Amino acid sequence: MPTEEQIHAALRQVKYPGFSRDIVSFGLVRSVRVEDGRVVIQLELSTRKPELVAPLEAECKSTVGSLPGVQSVQVDVRMPGGGEGAPAGSMPVPRRIPGIRRIVAVASGKGGVGKSTVSVNLACGLARQNARVGLLDCDIYGPSIPLMMGIHQRPSLNEKQQIEPLANYGVKLMSIGFLVDGDAPVIWRGPMIVKTIQQFLGSVAWGELDYLLIDLPPGTGDAQLTLCQTVPLDGGLVVTTPQEASLGVVRKGMGMFQKLNVPILGIIENMSYFTAPDGQRIEIFGHGGGSQEARRQSVPFLGEIPIFTEIRIGGDRGTPVVVDAPQSAPAQAFLQIVERMKQAMPAASPQPL
Ligand SMILES: Nc1ncnc2c1ncn2[C@@H]1O[C@H](COP(=O)(O)OP(=O)(O)OP(=O)(O)O)[C@@H](O)[C@H]1O
Ligand SMILES: [Mg+2]
């Protein structure tokens, strides 16, 4: 009979559907039990979709079933809201956070397209409409929310030993940038990042929120997938530049949400064009790629944001343009997207008891 370690090793050959990474390193294998010729594997998944669950179950069974001495394999799949509470010390699965009505992540196929700029301005735009908004910076290696939101402080702990989020412009904020020293490089391994994100969700006193926006790190690799799995997402926004869209990179950003069955609220085209001082419109990276891609993929196109010096200055100065000059053209571009995003949003999830 194989040992539990040998079964874990075998399960490392089972890849998460559509990904190069295995289910053990994704933290999905909660426990393995061996009893006589029988193996019981417990998986924890964030989705109930049979098209993901069934092939995973089947592959676990065939991989472990082929080990010498194994007579039968039982795969138990647990999912969020599945009833029984998780035993202490186990890997938590995404569970709805009491008090948070909707969680929306902002991703892109490539770095530097304006995810953080969009996250910040959408969050401030929602707050201007008196929505209760939080913004969580999931970029552990290059957090930009503290700079863009103009706040650098150590958060304090409340009497329940929860981290009190900082707040500016009516938005509650959490970022690793508040916890580590200025320029100190953050050299963390994947599991620590996941743990940190889990704490940002579970141990931060967010209170009641209508929206929690999540600024994801650049790219769509396994780290981003793991983050999205850690967080119970209600929707995803994909930011692209026209150039990125024309090269099909935007599909990568969408693919990540699609694999996790997270509804894509829409595509936002950033850095669409530049208006020269003489009024001439200059389309540096081409134009319209985002909307074309949205049509092709049958997802909403939420709008385009031109290149405006005010947007970059606002970001560098810590006063988002939506706060600093709400009537300006760049702010209006963001506020229009806020409206369309709200329309694209599914009804708020019911609050857990
Ligand atoms: N529409 C815009 N007009 C002018 N500057 C912009 C615009 N959008 C973003 N920028 C600037 O481009 C730079 C990159 O933007 P940002 O940091 O938001 O991108 P990102 O996708 O979050 O990057 P990363 O992938 O590194 O997290 C920033 O300096 C930002 O101020
Ligand atoms: Mg960013």
Confidence of residue 185 (pLDDT cuts 50, 70, 90): low
* pLDDT, tens digit (0-9, with 9 covering 90-100), for 55-91: 899 999 999 999 999 999 999 988 654 433 333 333 3
pLDDT on residue 79? 67
Which DSSP category does 247 fall into? T
Closest protein CA for atom 30 of ligand 1: 312
Q: Which atom of ligand 1 is nearest to the CA of 215?
A: 22
Distance from Cα 115 to the centre of ligand 1, integer Å: 7
pLDDT at 137 over 90: yes
Tell me the backbone φ, ψ of residue 276, rounded to 5 degrees: -70, 160
Sequence-distant (6+) residues with CB within 8 A of 83 are: none
Do 4-78 and 103-344 share a fold?
A: no
Domain spanning 4-78: CATH superfamily: Fe-S cluster assembly (FSCA) (3.30.300.130)
Does residue 269's CB lie within 6 angstroms of at least one atom of ligand 1? no
CA–CA–CA angle 47, 49, 50 (5° rounding): 130
Cα distance from N-terminal residue to C-terminal residue, the chain: 44
pLDDT at position 205, please?
94
295 CA distance to ligand 2 middle (Å): 26
Greater model confidence, 240 or 202: 240
Asked if 30 and 45 touch (Cβ cutoff 8 Å), the reply is no
Tens of pLDDT, residue by residue over 251-260, are 888 888 888 7
Instruction: Provide the residue ranges of all domains of the chain, joining segments of one domain with +.
Output: 4-78, 103-344
Distance CA 152, CA 149 (A): 9
Kindly report the pTM of this predicted structure. 0.75
CA 239 to CA 266: how far, in whole Å?
9
β-strand partners of 76 = 42
144 lines ligand 1 (CB under 6 A): yes
Range list of β-strands (E), 149-228: 166-168, 171-174, 211-215
Q: Which residues contact 88 (CB under 8 A, 6 or more apart)?
A: none
Nearest to 145 by CA among 175, 188, 114: 175
Q: Is the pLDDT of residue 94 over 80?
A: no
Instruction: Check if 315 has its Cβ closer than 6 Å to any atom of ligand 1.
Output: yes
Question: What does each C-alpha distance from 210 to 130, 155, 207, 350 come to in angstroms?
Answer: 10, 22, 10, 12
> What is the pLDDT at residue 23?
83
Provide the pLDDT for residue 19. 65
CATH class of 103-344: alpha beta
Backbone angles phi, psi at 186, to 5 degrees: -95, 110
